[in-house]
Amino acid sequence: MSFRRWRIARSDKSLSRSVAQRFGIDGFAAHLLTSRGCRSDAMISDMLGLDDDTAEFLDPFDIIDMDKAVERIRRAVDDFEAIAVYGDYDVDGVTSTALLYSYLESVGANVMYYIPKRDGEGYGLNVRAIDELHGRNISLIITVDNGISAVSEVAHAKSLGMDVVITDHHQEGDQLPEAVAVVNPHRRGSKCSFTEYAGVGVAFKLICALEGDSMAVLENGGDLVALGTVADVVSLTGENRRLVRLGLKQINHTGRVGLSTLMETASLSGKEVTSTNIAFVIAPRLNAAGRLGHASPVVELLTTDDEEEAFSLAEELNAMNRERQEIEQMIDRDVSEMLSKDPSVLYDRVIVIAGEKWHGGVIGIFASRICERYGKPCFIISYEGENAKGSGRSIEGFSLYDAISACSEHLTGFGGHTLAAGINLKTSDIQSFRRAINDYAMRKYPSMPSPELYIDCQLPPSALTIELCGAARILEPFGADNPVPLIAVMGLRITDIFGAGGGKHQRLTLERGGTIITAMKFSTADENFPFRIGDIVDIAVTLDVSNYRGRESLTLIVRDMRLSDTHFDEINDGRRLYEKMMRGESLSDDESKALRPTRDILGTVYRFVSCGYRGEADVLGCRMKRLGVGFGAMLCSLRILSEGGLLSVDDKGTFIRIEAVRRGAQDGKISPENTPTAMRVGYKNV
């Protein structure tokens, strides 16, 4: 995980006390509400769902063109025209498809659905699919979760005598398709008081407009609305929050055969399904089919009433999900090998990594992982023959869409938004794109944004209780714009470290002021854990309650961890300066001086790491700071010692592995002052 600046929310104790008293809630819950911007009674009531069962839903006809869409669809239903619901292959797309298809079928429409294949057709309307639907005598296409940019495709359908109604939630471009209706809450001039629906949310509003009874629609399809909304990571505020809250109730008592079967095969039977379960257990299985093959089996699963068919489809999705995980592991190995051979990629402001025939369905997942791991915008590109396509992810403060727009001459196509984007380009242009987007970043962002970790509050260890966890649950469902509460606990002394799960995870015992707590640090192997017994650390944790044989216990899960005397700016500035040098950019005299180690510093670094080190670079930097070695000088020293043949250093940006070189292998070593890095920063062995 990348080294991140901690941002701890400010507390207004007076306001929190007032909210706690007025609403009869715990003070911690009141703090979470107020620190997240919920300060008026209306906003707090909305967040807590106090009016879920009685309040009116927002008028669907506030969305532009909803009246036109309703008129055309009703006419098609009445005249028994052949209708096609045209969806997308992600969870939002398939739940939107299943929701609208099921509704139209229930009112007697002559309806089918069509979902394009990711490979071969790609996202959204395409001419080949339109021709196929025309061959099936379809006279009305209704898109869900796509279509806002399908200008030429809609024109083609129109030329064939087919009408198109678009429902979408993506941003509109400079030109709208000439459809019968373009139903999108983001359209300019919209009267919607809430616009952040997922595609399934827009489909839900369409059905509400057709049916005239929002609660009745939700009773029949609220589970699908909740699935798509959570999976698409749209804001869980406003009406989305109510849709997910009510939808989760349905999921936990679902009569949908396919969904209950999938939950059973995913070991969720008998457990309360939360938004977290959807995001990390259910959604990946529903997504797997669209990523690796064709998403139609997902719609079949969500609409079937046959238990045997449901079981077969659920097992198929589970198998695809396992295959998806294996493909990700393969790409991870490929990337690790590439970075070992050419670590210069990690010094770039924007990371661009390309591989041959990487599966297009998983490169987006891997882009998210690389962005999280290194704390930088990144693109993962898969190429085959002359053509390549990539998926990008970014951090707050760096707009991917603006960046790729500025580099469009190197691309054959692109789209996306601030934090996620997709590109198409020629294989021969991959390196020119890498240079162009990094040149853009250098011009536009002299100082690149730093990744940040937003923490809800700081508490003493004695305050971490099961009751506190229960108080936080009042804010469920958690998701985008309403994350699981994160708590900082400072100044803890590590008293024990125990490798769990065969050494893959760490169980920590920590103490402060006589209070002893235990916490789990998952996915960190014994040999890569850089902390020691006796270290004074700060931890950022989420709370969970485990139930074993009827007995509840509190579980603290460590999301981030640092030595208490860590100074973010010193380490961050040192890393950026070192990377600037490694990119070959010119350094000022002051910058060279900041990086240049003295002979004593070089000796200090060598003695400290000569027995080896594996772990986060910031932890090593903090320990070296205590010895008077700055972070940039430490990195330069390690590189000089590596180039000199004294150490083996594998620097992966946020993670570093150091091994001593055997004495017999040091015969070819060179003097430190003669290494390339020493000469670059002006080191002299004096």
Query: Cα(360)–Cα(383) distance, rounded to whole angstroms?
Result: 9
Give how far Cα 652 sits from Cα of 64, 338, 616, Å: 50, 11, 9
Helix (H, G, I), strand (E, B) or coil at 616: strand
**Predicted pLDDT at 547:** 75
| Least confidently predicted of 418-427, 492-501, 562-571 | 418-427
Query: Percentage of the chain with pLDDT > 90?
Result: 76
C-alpha dihedral, 50 to 53 to 55 to 56, nearest 10° = 150
- pLDDT 10s digits, 220-257: 999 999 999 999 989 999 999 999 999 999 999 888 99
pLDDT digits (tens, 9 = 90+) for 26-49: 999 999 999 998 888 988 998 998
DSSP string covering 228-258: HHHHTT---SHHHHHHHHHHHHHHTT---HH
Lowest model confidence (mean pLDDT) among 59-63, 112-116, 119-123, 163-167? 119-123
Pairing, β 82-86 against β 420-426 = unpaired
- Kindly give the pairing relationship between strand 140-144 and strand 163-167: parallel
Higher pLDDT, 685 or 564: 564
Instruction: Report the pLDDT value the prediction gives residue 686, as an integer from 0 to 100.
Output: 54
Output the average pLDDT for the chain.
Answer: 92
Q: Is residue 312 pLDDT above 80, yes or no?
A: yes
Amino acid identity, position 133? L
377 CA to centre of own chain: 12
Instruction: Return the closest-CA partner of residue 85 out of 143, 37, 11, 44.
Output: 143
| CA gyration radius, the chain | 28
d(CA 619, CA 480) in angstroms, rounded, equals 30
User: Residue 518: what are its φ and ψ, rounded to 5°?
Assistant: -120, 150
Q: Given this model, what pLDDT does residue 421 score? A: 87
In the predicted model, is pLDDT for residue 665 greater than 60? no
pLDDT at 663 over 70: no
pLDDT over threshold 80, residue 376: yes
Q: Is the dihedral of CA 465, 466, 468, 469 positive or negative?
A: positive
Nearest to 237 by CA among 12, 369, 45: 45
Whether the Cβ atoms of residue 368 and residue 374 lie closer than 8 Å to each other: no
Q: Provide the pLDDT for residue 343.
A: 86
Do residues 201 and 227 touch, judged by C-beta distance below 8 A? no
With contact defined as beta carbons under 8 Å apart, do 457 and 488 qualify? yes
Count of residues making up the chain: 686
170-222 pLDDT per residue, tens: 888 788 999 999 999 999 888 889 999 999 999 999 999 999 999 999 999 99
Tens digits of per-residue pLDDT, 250-279?
999 888 999 999 999 998 888 889 999 999
Q: Please say if the pLDDT value at position 653 is more than 90.
A: no
Position 324 pLDDT exceeds 80: yes
What digits encode the pLDDT tens for the residues 456-494?
999 999 999 999 998 999 999 999 899 999 999 999 999
Element (H, E) at 323: helix 307-341
Q: Chain centroid to CA 523: how far?
A: 18
The helix (H) or strand (E) run that includes residue 553 is: strand 551-563
**pLDDT band for position 674 (50/70/90)?**
confident
Q: Report the C-alpha gap between 97 and 169 in whole angstroms.
A: 14
Paired residues of 426 in beta bridges = 387
> Is it the case that residue 16 has pLDDT exceeding 60?
yes
* 92, two tokens: 């939002």
Q: How many helices (H) and strands (E) does the chain have?
A: 25, 21
What pLDDT was estimated at residue 666?
52
Q: Check pLDDT > 60 for residue 562.
A: yes
pLDDT value, residue 230: 95
- Percent of the chain beyond pLDDT 70? 99
Confidence at residue 360, expressed as pLDDT on a 0 to 100 scale: 85
Cα(379)–Cα(424) distance, integer angstroms: 11
Lowest-pLDDT range of 586-590, 618-622, 661-665:
661-665
Evaluate whether 162 touches 136 at the Cβ level (below 8 Å).
Answer: no
Residue 624: count of CB within 10 angstroms of its CB: 22
Using the predicted structure, report yes or no on whether residue 684 has a pLDDT greater than 90.
no
- Tokens 């509050």 sit on residue: 457
